[in-house]
């Protein structure tokens, strides 16, 4: 695997929160905990992370469980890419950010690839062994899916360095195309509080 891909996995693997942002702007940003846990899926060419989040006042009620598959970009060697997957049965993995035991035996059959939810990741080297990774949804792509009979659309994006994770995810009204939840006034600014990079599943070649 390229060192850039391994670095991206290391930067994202962890437990984060946006405490400082929530204290400074409580009217606009709730205090969130965000977990990104390594998962032993798609090991041949990827680093895969389980993600979910929770409001600080309801840490026992996490939401938005999803899977991020990080891999090299077959169409552009200078970039990486992230593919998003949803779980066919969310209850099987709910709470796995805090208790990852449920992730150890996941199979590809339990997740569903989301068409239109693949993003190209720009790579910027900021020092000898450090990078800045950026990705945002292309305006001409549409990440939408159906869950429990309801149609959802999201605009995804993040920027990450060794020091900070910015998350641009927003929910989109499929009818109007307007953002209705998430990073409406700018990104959520997360700081890593616990590092899970030692849990990464990286295949050597």
Domain CATH code at residue 155? 2.40.128.590
Domains identified in the chain, total number: 1
pLDDT tens string 101-115 = 989 889 999 999 998
pLDDT score at 130: 94
Judge contact between 67 and 85, C-beta under 8 A. yes
Whether 69 maps to a domain, the answer reads yes
Whether 38 maps to a domain, the answer reads yes
Q: Would the pLDDT of 166 be above 80?
A: yes
Q: pLDDT tier at 204 (50, 70, 90 boundaries)?
A: low
Whether 75 maps to a domain, the answer reads yes
Q: Would the pLDDT of 205 be above 50?
A: no
Angle at 57 between CA 32 and CA 183, to 5 degrees: 30
Q: Would the pLDDT of 180 be above 90?
A: no
Q: Is 131 left (phi over 0), alpha (psi -120 to 50) or beta?
A: beta
Q: With H, G, I as helix, E, B as strand and everything else as coil, classify residue 92.
A: helix
pTM value is 0.92
Phi, psi of 198 (to 5 degrees): -70, -10
Q: What tokens were used for 79? A: 């970039």
Mean pLDDT of 120-144: 87
Whether 205 maps to a domain, the answer reads no
Whether 111 maps to a domain, the answer reads yes
Mean pLDDT of 48-59: 95
Euclidean distance between CA atoms 193 and 201, whole angstroms? 21
Q: Residue 119: beta bridge partners? A: 82
Whether 190 maps to a domain, the answer reads yes
Entry field: residues in the chain = 205
Mean pLDDT of 149-174: 88
pLDDT score at 188: 95
pLDDT score at 134: 97
Q: pLDDT tier at 139 (50, 70, 90 boundaries)?
A: low
pLDDT tens string 34-47 = 999 999 999 999 99
Whether 204 maps to a domain, the answer reads no
Q: Would the pLDDT of 137 be above 80?
A: no
pLDDT score at 203: 62
Mean pLDDT of 146-164: 85
The domain containing residue 8 runs over which residues? 3-199
Whether 120 maps to a domain, the answer reads yes
């Amino acid at each position: 695997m390229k060192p850039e891909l391994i670095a991206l996995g290391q930067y994202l693997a962890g437990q984060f929160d946006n405490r400082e942002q929530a204290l400074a702007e409580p009217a606009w940003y709730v205090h969130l905990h965000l977990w990104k846990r390594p998962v032993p899926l798609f090991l041949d060419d990827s680093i895969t992370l389980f993600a979910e989040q929770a409001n600080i006042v309801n840490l026992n009620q996490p939401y938005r469980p999803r899977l991020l598959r990080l891999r090299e970009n077959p169409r552009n060697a200078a970039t990486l890419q992230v593919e998003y997957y949803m779980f066919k049965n969310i209850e099987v993995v709910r709470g796995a950010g805090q208790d990852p035991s449920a992730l150890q035996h996941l199979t590809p059959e339990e997740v569903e690839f989301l068409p239109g939810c693949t993003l190209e990741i720009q790579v910027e080297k900021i020092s000898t062994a450090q990078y800045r990774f950026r990705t945002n949804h292309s305006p001409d792509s549409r990440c939408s899916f159906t869950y429990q009979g309801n149609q959802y659309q999201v605009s995804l994006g993040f920027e990450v360095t060794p020091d900070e994770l910015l998350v641009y995810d927003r929910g989109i009204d499929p009818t109007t195309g307007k953002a209705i939840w998430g990073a409406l006034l700018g990104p959520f600014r997360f700081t890593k509080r616990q590092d899970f990079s030692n849990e990464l599943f990286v295949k050597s070649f």
